[in-house]
Structure 1
Amino acid sequence: MDPRIPPFISSFVIRFVVDSSSNGDVQSTYHGAIRHIQSDEELSFNSWEDAVDFIRRYVPLEAEPGQGNP
């Protein structure tokens, strides 16, 4: 890394809300929101994949095995 060039930084705040099941189901559902701090852009999500897609707008992430190219 060249010390004369500052690193590119992206920061995120992620909020998860777990919806407790009222009918006795073992699995609870969740939703949340993710905010990119530098741009103040926020996305509500119902699946982790949506949150990762949002992060990919700002950070070049490697694809996980079996998911293809980003």
Structure 2
Amino acid sequence: MSDARLTDLEIRLAWQEDLLRTLEETLHAQQTRVGELETFCRQLTERLRALQDGHDPTPDDGPPPHY
């Protein structure tokens, strides 16, 4: 195998390793965000169910300031 071909393969491998690392970081960030959104969705669902049942899970801060 010639030096030029070996160098070309090494360059391609370096680019692929960098791309793979970037994709892994992106996937990890997306998975983290999906987890956060699932938690948020679950909380909203629980709150909506509580409101439908007539129980507001948020504390009552008293009357609005214009009273």
Q: TM-score normalised to the size of structure 2?
A: 0.26
Q: TM-score normalised to the size of structure 1?
A: 0.25
Choose between structure 1 and 2 for higher RCO, CA contacts under 8 A separated by at least 6 residues. 1
Larger Rg: 2
Structure with the larger helix share? 2
